[in-house]
Amino acid sequence: MALRRVLRIDDANDKRILKLHCQPVKLPDRTLKQLVVDMLETMHTANGVGLAAPQVGLPIQLCVIGIPPEYEEQADGTELEVAPAEEYVLFNPKIVKTSGEEIMRDEGCLSLPGWYGQVPRQTWVTVEFQDLTGKARRLRKADGLLGWALQHEIDHLHGILFTERIRDLSTLRDLTQEPVSADAPVHAPVG
């Protein structure tokens, strides 16, 4: 396994690569297995929820997403896992259906660490993609964090950065410069 360098929006050379429209991947291709492992490790090490291939310098249609487990606090104060962690590896993903209804979300990106802004996203999306073997797959009506991450990562594959989706740029802020309060929401960059 190897950590990959994540390209940055605020670096002119990196941004040129991040703005490319990515090429489809011909599958199956066993040589991509190590890339997938590296991308998942890079995403997890950076505490991200998603990572797209162009963010590690490769203009191909591949993204990975890692949804953390969900816990519920019990009456005795202990936490019970109610939904396990899930990982997704998507080649050539396409949004084929949307809710038609938007929600504003505070969104960040591993390519602009610490910065978050209000981004409109569909409340759910249906995505068709291929797995590593080339088999066609579908995620139906993905909502919540998964739906949000899918939209963010698929944008990356088309050279669209989250900062370009922000309608009110006054919502874009560097959270590393803000004081942390105990009741502040936890932010995880998407990808």
Cα–Cα dist 62/154, whole Å: 9
Query: Dihedral of CA 48/49/54/58: which sign?
Result: positive
Q: Return the bridge partners of 143, or none.
A: 124
Helices (H), the chain: 12-18, 32-45, 144-157, 162-165
Cα–Cα dist 132/130, whole Å: 7
Query: Does residue 102 carry a catalytic annotation?
Result: no
The active-site residue out of 107, 153, 164, 178 is: 153
pTM: 0.91
How many residues are recorded in the chain? Answer: 191
What does the DSSP 8-state code read for residue 42? H
Domain spanning 12-177: CATH 3.90.45.10? yes
- State residue 179's pLDDT score: 64
User: What is the domain partition of the chain in residue ranges?
Assistant: 12-177
User: Longest Cα pair distance anywhere in the chain, in angstroms?
Assistant: 53
Q: Please give the radius of gyration of the chain, using alpha carbons only, rounded to the nearest integer.
A: 17
Cα–Cα dist 89/180, whole Å: 33
* pLDDT tens, per residue, the chain with 191 residues: 699 999 999 999 999 999 999 999 999 999 999 999 999 999 999 999 999 999 999 999 999 999 999 999 999 999 999 999 999 999 999 999 999 999 999 999 999 999 999 999 999 999 999 999 999 999 999 999 999 999 999 999 999 999 999 999 999 999 888 665 444 444 567 77
CA distances from 83 to 17, 44, 67, 71, 80 (A): 36, 18, 10, 7, 9
Name the 3-class secondary structure at 13.
Answer: helix
Cα–Cα dist 96/101, whole Å: 15
